[in-house]
Amino acid sequence: MSEELLRLSKRMSELGLCSRREADEWIARGWVRVDGKVVSELGTKIYPSQRVSVERQAAAEQSKRVTVLINKPMGYVSGQAEDGYQPAVVLIKPENRWAEDPSPEQFHPTQLRSLVPAGRLDIDSVGLLVLTQDGRVAKHLIGETTDVDKEYLVRVEYTKPGKLPDSDLKKLNHGLWMDGKALQPAKVRWQNDDQLSFTLREGKKRQIRRMCDMVGLKVIGLKRVRIGKVKLGDLPVGEWRYLRPDEQF
């Protein structure tokens, strides 16, 4: 069976070495070797069986990349600025750093370079948002094959008489369709009279609001409280902290 050639940057991303963008940067700097030889031409193609290694500088560069957790307030968008709304990244400045952040990391403006959201949170939702410079973190949280679950507390109002039937709560857990596809199973349970906890593995646009809509629930407030093993905890609204070296999603 003949092997197919792959772009070196794609292969590096598949191997979990870095993101494709980082790969191109490292190739251009002469930090990547294929079968022991430096390859510095962008767009180079290799066979999957060839051995890819990176110089120590690349690992050092990567270890300097930061990941930041922010408790996003209402009215901020996750990514690019849009319609006069500011992106959450504008809140990442020394005066908004949580006073109780245990990380020894020092803030430096270079950390804002290519600090991108790993996943989104709607403008009218609050809670845990991850911003990272590390392509591996982004891929882990939002890649096609991610198995990291996310938990939300959702305040709701039932728009029909009486209360939500158990059969509809079951549908929220599994059985709803969106955009022509069956949704993956979710864990949805009542926290108290007007608040549900949603745990999801996927994140379609406005998914929770649309799921609630389908069973006659109106969302009054939505807050993300956990991504994988990382919790929002006591982080105040509008403040941020660094992901600690011992924390894993």
**Which pLDDT belongs to residue 57?**
84
- Catalytic site residue from 101, 122, 149, 194: 122
Residue range 34-74, pLDDT digits in tens: 999 999 999 999 999 999 999 988 877 776 789 999 999 99
122 given a catalytic annotation: yes
What CATH number does domain 67-145+230-242 carry, 3.30.70.580, 2.60.40.10, 3.40.47.10, 3.40.1280.10? 3.30.70.580
Q: What is the DSSP letter of 217?
A: E
Q: Are residues 17 and 24 in contact, defined by beta-carbon separation less than 8 angstroms?
A: no
Q: Provide CATH 3.30.70.580 ranges for the chain.
A: 67-145+230-242
Average pLDDT for residues 197-214, to the nearest whole number? 93
What is the SS3 assignment for 86?
Answer: coil
Q: What is the DSSP string of 140-171?
A: HHHSTT----EEEEEEEEE-SSS---HHHHHH
| Res 145 pLDDT > 80 | no
Average pLDDT for residues 164-176, to the nearest whole number? 96
| Res 1 pLDDT > 70 | no
| Res 204 pLDDT > 90 | no
Q: Provide CATH 3.10.290.10 ranges for the chain.
A: 6-63
Average pLDDT for residues 129-152, to the nearest whole number? 88
> How far does the chain reach from its first CA to its final CA, in angstroms?
38
Q: Which long-range contacts (CB under 8 A, 24 or more apart) does 205-208 make?
A: 206/122, 207/178, 207/183, 208/152, 208/154
Residue range 208-224, pLDDT digits in tens: 999 999 999 999 999 99
Residue range 108-138, pLDDT digits in tens: 887 888 888 998 899 999 999 999 998 888 8
CB proximity list for 191: less than 8 A, separation 6 or greater: 153, 197
Classify the C-alpha dihedral 31-36-39-43 as positive or negative: negative
The residue with tokens 């969106």 is 178
Tokens read off for 23? 């790969």
Domain spanning 150-227, CATH architecture: 2-Layer Sandwich (3.30)
Question: Global pTM?
Answer: 0.78
**Which pLDDT belongs to residue 52?**
95
Average pLDDT for residues 181-198, to the nearest whole number? 96
Q: Provide CATH 3.30.2350.10 ranges for the chain.
A: 150-227
d(CA 97, CA 76): 17
Looking at CATH, the fold of the domain delimited by 6-63 is given as: 3.10.290
d(CA 165, CA 126): 28
Q: Which amino acid does the sequence have at 246?
A: D
Report the share of the chain in percent with pLDDT over 90.
Answer: 70
CA proximity to 234, closest of 98, 43, 136:
98
